[in-house]
Chains A and B, each alone.
Chain A
Amino acid sequence: MEAEILYPVRKWFTVERISLRLWRVVKSTIKHTILISVAISCIFPLVWMFSSALKTNATVFTDMSLIPSDPQFINFAEAWTKGKFGVYFFNSVLYTLVCVFGVLFIASLAAFAFARFQFPGKNALYYLFLITLMIPVPGAIVALYVLLIHLGLIDTRLGYMLPQINGGLALGLFILRPFFERIPKDLEDAARIDGCGRWGIYWHVAIPLAKPALAVVALFTSLAVWNEFMLAQLVLQSQSLMPLQLGLVKFWGGTLTEYPLLMAGMAISVIPIVIAYIFLQKHIIAGVTAGALKG
């Protein structure tokens, strides 16, 4: 009786706490189980790729273990030399860097203009750019090929990169314009008082504020350019200009596929993109979430 009088709240509180904690544990378990399952389903193909890269052509379909009993690390070296990855890797890095900088520079300038300037036909022009997102590459290939021939750009690095920069602009505009629109007018006025012109506002105010969005555009463009394959085969003829994806094709014949070398080559080709993602991860999450809120 004395205890009930002295500790009624504690008794009620304890039962409630336990059920609440239990509920939280259950919720957290369900949440984490789902997240871990999704993470495993995302990571598993990569793990399988690395695992297959260490097998032989004969064991790749019979040895289902993730860690092969006799790992063939030589596959990576063979894939590198046989696929001539040295030349192609350099080309892919060059194409990716130039296209990413090209897209970032042109798309950010255009997005800034669409967001901050008033001019006739602004929205119509903006939507015209966005329409290009809906044109599939094969639909435009003949026209593009004819254009590149007339410009003398077939089988040149520039002829390969310009269409890709052009192709990345619409997405860049779509992502960057909302960011520039959100910059307060006061900030622009303050910069103007400090002596900034339009270029100064763009370079010193808008670009630093749009870093998360720029990171998203950079990653999407990198992925698109790094994995691009069809345009390269159409535009380029010299093997010395081809990107990394061509090296992979050497192991992927119409009838005969060298799966371990193909997997080793893919593992090599995926590494730079994974590194890029790790470095840009912080900005990408900020950029995507900010874009989502704005949307």
Chain B
Amino acid sequence: MKKLSLISLAVIVVLTPFLFSCKKLTRSHAVVVWHWMTDRDEALQELARKYKEETGQEVQFQLYAPSDVYSQKVKVGAQTNSLPDIYGVLGDAQDLAHFIEAGHVENLTGSLGEGPDSWRSTFYEEAINTAYFKAGNSFNVPEGTYGIPLDVTTIPMIYNKSLFAKAGLDPQKPPQTWTEFLEAGKALKKIGVTGFVSGWAETWLIYSLVTDLAHNLMGAEKVMDTHAGKVSYTDPDWVAVFTAFEQLQKAGFVDPSLVTLGNKAAEQAFSQERSGITFNGSWAVNVYAGMNDKLDYAPFPPPQLGNKFPPCVWGGAGSVFLVNAKSEVKDKAVAFLKWLSDKKQASFMVSATRNLSAVKDVGGEGVSPVLQQFADLMKNSIHPNRFLISEDPKVQEAITKGIQSILISEKTPSKVAEEVQKAKEKSKTE
């Protein structure tokens, strides 16, 4: 017993200094940034060091990951009015709109300015517009730009050139139409590889392809009319979009576990050349480089369902930083973001992280030819954050769940169209 007492005493004596040295940190004049980007943390810390050297202003990047934990942290921060000076909101336009409505996001329209020499003009239009709310938007958010993009992504189809050649397909000519796509998948299956793989257990990936195909088949105006409730999801064009997924399933070359596969598993399958075509984002350049640096691949726009409108690629959005409207160092936060989006810093970020920059004409060692191909696809990109009318999340869910059902032969495209329309009507009454 004496021994136990002595051990307890020793532990208390050893630990006491640590406990009593814990005093609350007083808020300094540093600009505090909360972020979730584990792969960009080192580069951001380096930039913070450089900024302090150049300006004397301290910037603290605080990493909270993975993204679901980060989102929880930001929500708690908003509920308790303890958000940092700069942060990001992970989610769609509606999530961002909630933060703006609650007064947590500074409208940066004035700071960005207008014209060829403005801060705004340094960004790709698609990128800066992902945080822009148009006048009369469906969220009733005052018109303005509320965020500064750091980088951008595009989510195209990607094909394996070597496997295409092996299957007797032209490795320089990816499929352009949906019919060619189905034929390519069948040819790949003949050489013993899965024609198509994607992480479609993650429904946002399905929704992005649905949006691409819908824009290509019926044009942006009709898609927006559908969001507005003027066009029904039982419209033949929408049924044709859903039917494309049925054709994919019936062609028999998709990964059998497509709807239960996470994106990381799909990335493994593609990088290990077990599949010839995938649907994935530009971040995959980093992923594939780590898993198989000999992988010979290239991106291409999702195959066209129709020929009236150009092919569309989901893209332009990426990591966006917001300035806390209640921050005491708001001006310093804006000044730092301005510095961060300067070409010199943006170029450093590209070299260090091999992500596409949101800043125009930024070169760097990180821009490989294949990454540049992903960047080039941004010209015809679409993204819900730039839509005038966003679709209700519950309708989006009905679409993606419906497509999953089509892919496992549980439902027909017409049945899914009816169910989506019912969800749409329900959302209008709520």
Q: How large is the interface on A (under 10, 10 to 19, 20 to 34, 35 or more residues)?
A: 35 or more
> How far, in angstroms, from A211 to B11 measured CA to CA in the complex?
18
CB contact list, B269-294 vs A, under 8 A: 271-272, 281, 283-284, 286-287, 290-293
A154 CB–B CB distance under 8 Å: yes
> Is chain B's interface secondary structure helix, strand, loop, or mixed overall?
helix
Assess the B38–A154 pair: CB atoms within 8 A: no
**Contact residue among B22, B69, B268, B286 (Cβ-Cβ distance under 8 Å from A158):** B22
Contacts of A106 in B (CB 8 A): none
**Contact residue among A204, A230, A250 (Cβ-Cβ distance under 8 Å from B41):** A250
Contacts of B73 in A (CB 8 A): 233-234
Assess the B39–A230 pair: CB atoms within 8 A: no
Given contacts A61-B291, A154-B24, contact A254 B19 (CB under 8 A): no
Interface string of A178-215 (1 = CB under 8 A from B): 00000000000000000000000001100110000000
B372 CB–A CB distance under 8 Å: no
A123 CB–B CB distance under 8 Å: no
> How far, in angstroms, from A234 to B65 measured CA to CA in the complex?
11
CB contact list, A68-114 vs B, under 8 A: 94, 97-98, 101
A295 CB–B CB distance under 8 Å: no
Interface string of A235-246 (1 = CB under 8 A from B): 001110000001
> How far, in angstroms, from A258 to B38 measured CA to CA in the complex?
11
Contacts of A234 in B (CB 8 A): 72-73, 76
A138 CB–B CB distance under 8 Å: yes
**Contact residue among B4, B64, B76, B284 (Cβ-Cβ distance under 8 Å from A142):** B76
Contacts of A146 in B (CB 8 A): 80
A28 CB–B CB distance under 8 Å: no
Assess the B37–A101 pair: CB atoms within 8 A: no
Assess the A142–B15 pair: CB atoms within 8 A: no
Assess the B24–A152 pair: CB atoms within 8 A: yes
> How far, in angstroms, from A61 to B62 measured CA to CA in the complex?
32
B264 CB–A CB distance under 8 Å: yes
Assess the B283–A142 pair: CB atoms within 8 A: no
Assess the A255–B18 pair: CB atoms within 8 A: no
> How far, in angstroms, from A239 to B79 measured CA to CA in the complex?
23
B173 CB–A CB distance under 8 Å: no
B66 CB–A CB distance under 8 Å: yes
> How far, in angstroms, from A57 to B82 measured CA to CA in the complex?
39
B230 CB–A CB distance under 8 Å: no
Interface string of A262-280 (1 = CB under 8 A from B): 0000000000000000000
A134 CB–B CB distance under 8 Å: no
B25 CB–A CB distance under 8 Å: yes
**Contact residue among A141, A154, A207, A255 (Cβ-Cβ distance under 8 Å from B72):** A141
Q: How far is the CB of B67 from chain A (nearest CB, A)?
A: 5
Contacts of B132 in A (CB 8 A): none
Q: Considering only CB atoms and an 8 Å cut-off, how many residues of chain B contact the other chain?
A: 46
Contacts of B79 in A (CB 8 A): 142, 145
Interface string of B1-14 (1 = CB under 8 A from A): 10011001001100
Contacts of A204 in B (CB 8 A): 1
Q: How far is the CB of A26 from chain B (nearest CB, A)?
A: 41
Contacts of A254 in B (CB 8 A): 36-39, 65-67
Q: How far is the CB of B25 from chain A (nearest CB, A)?
A: 5
CB contact list, B48-79 vs A, under 8 A: 62-67, 69-70, 72-73, 76, 79
A33 CB–B CB distance under 8 Å: no
Assess the A208–B1 pair: CB atoms within 8 A: yes
Assess the B24–A156 pair: CB atoms within 8 A: yes
A288 CB–B CB distance under 8 Å: no
Contacts of A62 in B (CB 8 A): 272
CB contact list, A111-157 vs B, under 8 A: 138, 141-142, 145-146, 149, 152-157
A256 CB–B CB distance under 8 Å: yes
Q: How far is the CB of A231 from chain B (nearest CB, A)?
A: 10
Given contacts A157-B18, A253-B65, A254-B37, contact A101 B76 (CB under 8 A): no
**Contact residue among B11, B66, B70, B272 (Cβ-Cβ distance under 8 Å from A97):** B11
**Contact residue among A156, A255, A257, A258 (Cβ-Cβ distance under 8 Å from B281):** A255
B428 CB–A CB distance under 8 Å: no
Contacts of B308 in A (CB 8 A): none
Contacts of B80 in A (CB 8 A): 142, 145-146, 149
Assess the A58–B293 pair: CB atoms within 8 A: yes
> How far, in angstroms, from A146 to B24 measured CA to CA in the complex?
15
On B, residues with C-beta under 8 Å from A are 1, 4-5, 8, 11-12, 15, 18-19, 22-25, 32, 36-39, 41, 62-67, 69-70, 72-73, 76, 79-80, 82, 264, 268, 271-272, 281, 283-284, 286-287, 290-293
* A/B interface sample: 19 pairs, CB < 8 A: A61-B268, A97-B11, A142-B79, A149-B80, A156-B25, A158-B19, A204-B1, A230-B72, A234-B76, A237-B32, A237-B62, A246-B63, A249-B66, A252-B38, A253-B37, A254-B66, A255-B39, A255-B287, A256-B287
On A, residues with C-beta under 8 Å from B are 57-58, 61-62, 94, 97-98, 101, 138, 141-142, 145-146, 149, 152-159, 203-204, 207-208, 229-230, 233-234, 237-239, 246, 249-258
Give 10 A-B pairs besides A155-B25, A252-B66, A258-B290 with Cβ atoms closer than 8 angstroms. A58-B290, A204-B1, A208-B1, A233-B64, A233-B69, A238-B25, A253-B65, A254-B67, A255-B281, A256-B290
- Which 6 residue pairs of A and B lie closest in terms of their CB atoms, listed nearest first? A255-B283, A253-B38, A152-B24, A156-B22, A157-B22, A253-B39
